[in-house]
Chains A and B, each alone.
Chain A
Amino acid sequence: MAKFEALLKINPQKVENLSEYITYCKYYFKPKSKSKVESYENIEKLKQDFPIVHRNILSDSKYKKNDTLKDFPLNWLKYEIIGNSKIKTFENDSNLKNSKQISGIYGNTNDLQAYINNLPKYSFAIWFKFKLKTPYFSKDDDEFYIIQNPILKEANFKVPMVRGSSWKGALAHAFRELLGEKEKIESFLRIFGAGSESIKALESYLFDKSKDLKKTQEHLLEFILFELGLKVDKVLIEKIKKIKNKEEVLNILGSKLSQKLSENKKHLPLEFQTHKGRAIFYPTYFDRLTFEIINPHDRRKRAGTNPIHYEVVPKGTEGIFQSIYIPFDGILKDNNELKNEVNKDLNNLCEAFEILTEIGIGAKTKLGWGRFKIEDKKVCVNSDLEIPERWTKCQD
């Protein structure tokens, strides 16, 4: 298949848009062997097309066959390709536009409102613009790239992004900080869904599908500790260990986790059964790129060892977040009950976002990366829901 090999001839001066930049980083000319260099049209043209090939490869007897990334002049890439501004912007890039349009991300809230109006009662959308306070980074799976740490990009459009799954995971993590009250635990399970091993084990014991009490005890503890991240004391552990029957399981759930159960109900609430979450998360796309370098220091010499390059979305970049909440499982619920639930969920979600801005999204949040500021907070509703403080209705 030699004829299909992608040896791309790109002049860096011509790198104008995102696709060309990425193609350059992905398939740049690797002078792996002399014959490959020799078969390039001519050596002057090679030097012109790839100024990085600065050594005289043909006469260099020590030329390494396996040119590693270390030999690649990344500063040259940063300043010459990304540009003097050190930032590559591509707000007019067709791939960015296409991926936004295909993903159904609304540029303004009018169209979003129209869509929400078609959904079942008490559905709502959360939409906001945010500005990165620190760089955003999340590593891409792509193994063939000029630097070790390319930023996560859409698979076939190659636009830097935050995946819907990242948003969901990060928000669920932020939400756990709120889980002091029983009601919020129910809200958490409604929004994000439940279907873990622990929930399934509890469910099957309570619905007589299994009689394995020991497994139920273990999973109950695991659920409280690992999934909800709640504090567990000795008393509770003892209590769970002593469980003998279903009623006692329900009692513990009621006293620790569920408002609904503690209000004298005898059956496992829907929230604690396997179900899909009500919130749907959309991806976010960014229109800028740059590099950051982290240089670990030798503890003894106090000097940098090996600089590590990261392709990041720089601070100051704006993005749009969008999420739609559909209470599809509430269709058989009483109106007031459903409205009550949705109001709480909406409030809690908005609170969780405030926490998330401080925790940050993506990788290296410990270094302070991924923090953002929410700028234009909107909620689109199709019924008489209470809008949380500091958020505005789409129609306003």
Chain B
Amino acid sequence: MSQQQNNQLVKEIKIFALTQDPIYIGTGGYTIGRVDNTIVRDPITNVPKIPGSSLAGTWRYYVALELQSHFKDEFRVNLKSRIKKNIDELLNSPKDWMKFEGNKFAKIKCAGQDDLPNKTLDESKSEESGHCGYCIVCKGFGFSKKDLSWQGQIYFIDLNILFFPVFTMKGTKWITTASKLKEIGLNSISSPADENKIKTNNGNEGHLNLGWLYLEIEGTHSIRNENLACFNFGNFQLNPEDIVIVPESLFSHIVNSNLEVRTSVSIDPITGAAKEGALFTSEAIPRGTILYGCIRIFDKLAIKGIDCKIAPLPSINHLEQALNDSKHFYETLGIGGMTTRGFGRLKIILLGINSTEKRENEGNTKSSTNHTGGDKSE
């Protein structure tokens, strides 16, 4: 892996996300407890997360949607009319990544599940349905055809909770732990010494309630405004005063007892009253949570020479641009369930980090990044 990274074959992009609405990504099953509809959690820590697969699925669709909406009207619907044209002629005000030559065969059906996996790559070119196997969406996210299967070049990792909002008597505070801050590169922060104590910016408030927990404040943390510069989500900026560091052992408890739990009932349109037996409860990651994770893009240009069937391949740069230009759809179409009624919207920030720089940083700090390193190798 280190060899690859030195060769700059892998680009790692850090991703930070702010939930603009509660996020509901259901497990589909039932668990015994007080809620009917439970959300996806990390099996070890029991903290809710956004699975990488959900991210990959929605992003694939948003890249396809962005690409399609740039096709000129006459070519957007009619696939066959594109064949003899040059890619430049097909698009309205195209960005660099849209000019990737395989995009000639792109269709909206390149997102979602492949309808026609039993067609060959060549046959898929002119089909109205199914993955095309040529465009930047298929190459970037992967496809499987009768004669050729291709693993995507973009790797998504789960988004985990970094800052979690909790209502307190001093307003809403965002809780986090020292190990989470270390993972994003704030190394000098240590956990509170006592497992029932917390750290705040001022450190002299005495006690603070985090939901129902009433905890003693141990002292100050050393997070400054400049450390939080990358959490600038448009109008909203996280301040050091709003951050509280809690012991590792309490984090999962506080998160789970402050999730948004909602009791819903279906309304009968005729009577205007609640329907019988239609009451259910669901939980969700609340609004204002900040999550982090990373995306890795592999440069597979070397393979192009070995297997000529797969050529052409998009470059890392183009794939990165494609992700960046379509991430705004998360602010409306969102992720997870119930997105048209005030759920699932997400604001995403991508921080590109060159793989070699990243390694140097890790070397310097000698921090406990072993497990994150483990995550990265696939």
- Give the interface of A toward B (CB within 8 A): 3-8, 10, 17, 19-20, 22-23, 27, 94-95, 98-99, 101-104, 115, 118-121, 141, 154-158, 163-165, 167-169, 173, 176, 192-193, 225-227, 229, 276-277, 279-283, 324, 326, 328, 331-335
Contacts and interface: CB of A to CB of B under 8 A. Distances in A.
B286 interface: yes
4 tightest Cβ-Cβ pairs between the two chains A and B? A164-B342, A165-B341, A120-B69, A23-B169
Given A99-B288, A115-B328, A169-B267, A19 B196 contact: no
A98 B241 CA distance: 14
A94 B332 contact: no
A102 B172 contact: no
Residue in B169, B287, B332 with the greatest tally of chain A CB atoms within 10 Å: B332
Nearest to B128: A332
A157 B68 contact: no
A103 B20 contact: yes
B331 A157 contact: no
Given A157-B165, A176-B269, A280 B340 contact: yes
Contacts of A103: 20-21, 287, 345
A155 B22 contact: yes
A101 B334 CA distance: 17
Contacts of B169: 8, 10, 19-20, 23, 27
Given A6-B212, A19-B172, A277-B340, 8 more contacts: A3-B196, A6-B214, A23-B169, A102-B288, A157-B287, A165-B343, A168-B342, A229-B270
Interface in B259-281: 260-263, 267-270, 272
B54 interface: no
Contacts of A165: 338, 341-343
Contacts of B345: 103-104, 280
B108 A331 contact: yes
A150 to B, nearest CB: 13
Interface residues of B, number: 56
Given A115-B328, A157-B287, A226-B270, A276 B339 contact: yes
Interface in B169-203: 169-172, 196
B258 interface: yes
Given A104-B345, A156-B287, A331 B215 contact: no
A101 B342 CA distance: 15
A3 B215 CA distance: 8
Contacts of A118: 328
Interface of B: 18-22, 65, 68-69, 73, 76-77, 108, 165-172, 196, 209, 212-215, 233-236, 258, 260-263, 267-270, 272, 286-288, 328, 331-334, 338-343, 345, 347
B20 A193 contact: no
A229 B73 CA distance: 38
Given A141-B263, A165-B342, A99 B196 contact: no
Contact of A281 (B165, B267, B286, B341): B341
A137 to B, nearest CB: 16
Contacts of A20: 169
A21 to B, nearest CB: 10
Given A163-B342, A176-B269, A226-B270, A141 B261 contact: yes
9 contacts: A4-B212, A10-B169, A98-B236, A115-B328, A119-B69, A119-B328, A141-B263, A157-B167, A168-B342
Nearest to A162: B342
A332 B20 contact: no
Nearest to B212: A6
Given A277-B340, A326-B332, A334 B168 contact: no
B341 A156 contact: no
Contacts of A279: 340
A95 B287 contact: no
A119 B341 contact: no
Contact of B69 (A121, A163, A324): A121
A348 B165 CA distance: 39
Contacts of B288: 98-99, 102, 156-157
B18 A102 contact: yes
Contacts of A280: 332-334, 339-340, 345
A192 B339 CA distance: 11
A300 to B, nearest CB: 28
B321 to A, nearest CB: 14
Given A6-B209, A157-B288, A19 B340 contact: no
Nearest to A120: B69
Contacts of A193: 340
A98 B332 contact: no
Contacts of A192: 340
Contact of B76 (A99, A164, A282, A332): A332
A336 B68 CA distance: 17
A7 to B, nearest CB: 8
Contacts of B69: 119-121, 331
Nearest to B215: A4
A120 B65 contact: yes
Contacts of A281: 340-342
A331 B65 contact: yes
B171 A19 contact: yes
B76 A4 contact: no
A169 B274 CA distance: 13
Nearest to B61: A328
A234 to B, nearest CB: 18
B235 A101 contact: yes
B75 to A, nearest CB: 12
